Amino acid sequence: MKDNIAVVGLQWGDEGKGKVVDLLASDMDIIARCQGGANAGHTVIVGDKKYVLHLIPSGIIHQEKICYIGNGVVLDPFGLLEELRILDKESIDYKGRLFVSASANLVLPYHKLLDQIYEERRGGAPLGTTLRGIGPAYRDKVARCGIRLSDIFDDKILLEKLNDIKTLRAQIFEPYQDDERCDYDAVFDKVCSIREAFAPMLTNVSSEMHRLDAEGKKILFEGAQGALLDVDHGTYPYATSSNTTVGGILTGLGIGPRMVGTVVGVVKAYCTRVGAGPFPTELTEETGELLREKGGEYGATTGRPRRTGWLDLVALQHACRINGVDQLAITKLDVLDSFETIRVCLSYRIDSELVDTFPVDPYALEKVEPVYRDFPGWKSDTSSITRFGHLPQEAQNYIRFIADETGTEIKLVSTGAARAETILV
Ligand code: GDP
Ligand code: IMO
Ligand code: MG
């Protein structure tokens, strides 16, 4: 099997992929993002520095690694340039080691306005998107009226495409005449102004992946969001607009399945979700609040408080299957350190029937009554432990149970946000 690694989220995002990617990247040569956009917020802590990356692969912090953004990503070019300015401030030199697919679809200002309009028009049931224009940009991509990065270098193509969009969207933008985000002349000028910055980053990511793989370079594929936000396999319509599972890596970079290598799934020792949608094990009272406070569960992109709950094995098994997960990276174990009892959902009761597969009908999830197994807590500090055998027996049992139930190996256990707070198994 290839030495390449795919790192994917197994819940509703924010599992700690940024930390895991940063950690595993030290043994890899290349880090590639394949889907999603600036809706992602991947946190990497190095010493006393904290980096929150939205579009740039988390491997960029390692000064010698080469990073790619694939065609499957919807790229907010202005957002990317802002992120680069943060790297400049931190003296992280990215020149010659960050490349972007020429066929990535762009997120332009009018996509953000559309995201807001669609949310408002959903009335009482907005999705709680990140308002980063993700859904509208993927919508344009699939409707074949998106603007791709390569288009921005040709005035004629860019103008033609913007004109088509102007016609298509005339009605919906009618009440927003004064909003700069749907002023197409302003968008044209803004896009033209970034040509120079993007020209050296433009590349054919698919052919680069094949060349690098053939040269024996080790590639880490960095997933964004998580399996339960996958547009096909997640809690649709309360999902994002991309395939957040392994399939998204293949189409989002233009590679075949054999290039992927080992699939590492990242899972929190409990569950969180930002935005609306079903969450069977959600805790809305004191315990949920405690998880949020101990885990610092506030969105890395939007700052919104994250909803919290116990680990859901029905959902986790589903996530492992649809990704073909080989190994788990279990994060934020330390957040459970002070709990007397830790609960894990083993099956669902739906209309008084016991169900142990994740329902295909997402509306059934609204009716779920979780069936729990209780584990005794370990009630001690795990944050400085670096060996699995040194963890309290109760914590070892908890982790082994998760591995057994999902039929996976444990790759690592994270007990804090810092690089050193990790148990490599
Ligand atoms: P991502 O989107 O999957 O990369 O995750 P986020 O960065 O959005 O959220 C994870 C948060 O948990 C970040 O603030 C991390 O610094 C933090 N974190 C990661 N691993 C651990 C851990 O093991 N313990 C604790 N306490 N925090 C962690
Ligand atoms: P990372 O990569 C957590 C959620 C939003 C919303 C839904 C749709 O940091 O794990 P979108 O803006 O994508 O149209 O919003 O998806 N969402 C995330 N939640 N982590 C993320 O990324 C997310 N990206 C999108 O909160 O519920
Ligand atoms: Mg995040």
> Mean pLDDT of successive 10-residue segments in the chain (425 residues)?
94 98 98 98 96 97 97 98 97 97 98 97 92 98 98 98 96 96 97 98 98 98 98 96 98 97 98 96 96 94 93 98 98 98 98 93 91 98 95 98 98 97 96
The CB of 331 under 6 Å from ligand 2? The reply is: no
Give the Å distance between the CA of 7 and the centre of ligand 2: 17
- Superfamily of domain covering 5-101+201-263: Adenylosuccinate Synthetase, subunit A, domain 1 (3.40.440.10)
| Residue whose C-alpha is closest to residue 94's, from 60, 55, 58, 45 | 60
Of the candidate CATH numbers 2.70.50.30, 1.20.1540.10, 3.20.20.105, 1.10.300.10, the domain formed by 109-195 belongs to 1.10.300.10
Give the Å distance between the CA of 417 and the centre of ligand 3: 13
List every span in the chain annotated with CATH 1.10.300.10: 109-195
State which ligand 2 atom lies nearest to the alpha carbon of 301.
9
State which ligand 2 atom lies nearest to the alpha carbon of 13.
10
**54 an active-site residue?**
no
Give residues (CB < 6 A) around ligand 1.
Answer: 9, 13-19, 41-43, 45, 296, 300, 331-332, 334-335, 414-417
What is the pLDDT, as a whole number, of residue 123? Answer: 82
- SS3 of 241-254: the string is CCCCCHHHHHHHHC
What is the pLDDT, as a whole number, of residue 384? Answer: 86
Identify the active-site residue in 29, 42, 233, 334: 42
What is the pLDDT, as a whole number, of residue 302? Answer: 84
What is the identity of the amino acid at 45? I
What is the pLDDT, as a whole number, of residue 399? Answer: 98
Taking CA atoms only, the protein residue closest to ligand 1 atom 7 is 43
What is the CATH class of 267-424? alpha beta
Query: Residue 1 CB: number of other CB atoms within 10 A?
Result: 8
**62 an active-site residue?**
no
Taking CA atoms only, the protein residue closest to ligand 2 atom 13 is 240
List every span in the chain annotated with CATH 3.90.170.10: 267-424
Angstrom CA distances, 334 to 127, 338, 413, 414, stand at 31, 8, 10, 8
